[in-house]
Amino acid sequence: MDTDTRTILINDDVPDLPAIAERMATTTARLEADFSKVETKIHRFPRSLRGIGGDKDRYIVPSVVAIGPYHHGAPHVHKMEEVKLAAAYYLCRASRRSTAEVYEKVRSVAGAARGCYDADDPAVVGLGNAEFAAMMFLDGCFLLQYMVAGGDVTTTTRRRPCCRTG
């Protein structure tokens, strides 16, 4: 049996923190500038990576719930639309805000959210502004309620609001 005789070198020098901080700041500024030049912020899965993990778009097509426009309305995730409605109900009730009030908050930013998607994508083009806002409302409420309820969107804390909308 061979003995592993690797040597570990320990450098007791303190790293140059100001240099690291400067590199962090300049790198972050450069990345933010590059990112702001990208028009579409929420992309589809890259075509060059399709087929990864086997057939049938296993890692590309949602199997349980669709969030956002790319797979919205797909028949195989249709049942979850009912769960999204229940989640929106529980979230609005727990936040002590009316559905109209919460929906208006989402609707007020829906245009900006829509701008994050490829405007030429058929899934985005196929949704009118009202349908896009409704989708964002239900998807957003579902995600928030899922996080607040610990994965059970049909349960909510009764004595305290789980979300503030204003």
Among 96, 110, 106, residue whose Cα is nearest residue 163: 96
Asked whether residue 117 is domain-assigned, the answer is yes
First to last CA, the chain: 68
Asked whether residue 24 is domain-assigned, the answer is no
Asked whether residue 27 is domain-assigned, the answer is no
Instruction: Work out how many domains the chain is built from and give that number.
Output: 1
pTM over 0.75: no
DSSP structural state of residue 49: G
Please, which residues have CB within 8 angstroms of residue 116's CB and are 6 or more apart in sequence?
40, 41, 42
Q: Each residue of 46-69: pLDDT tens digit?
A: 777 777 766 666 777 788 899 999
DSSP structural state of residue 132: H
| Residue 109 domain boundaries | 48-148
Asked whether residue 16 is domain-assigned, the answer is no
Q: Each residue of 27-45: pLDDT tens digit?
A: 988 888 776 666 667 877 7
Q: Each residue of 103-130: pLDDT tens digit?
A: 999 999 999 999 888 888 899 999 999 9
- The token duo for 146 is 């899922």
The confidence score (pLDDT) of residue 40 equals: 64
Asked whether residue 70 is domain-assigned, the answer is yes
Asked whether residue 11 is domain-assigned, the answer is no
Please, which residues have CB within 8 angstroms of residue 43's CB and are 6 or more apart in sequence?
118
Asked whether residue 97 is domain-assigned, the answer is yes
Asked whether residue 20 is domain-assigned, the answer is no
Q: Cα separation of 17 and 22, whole Å?
A: 8
The confidence score (pLDDT) of residue 37 equals: 66
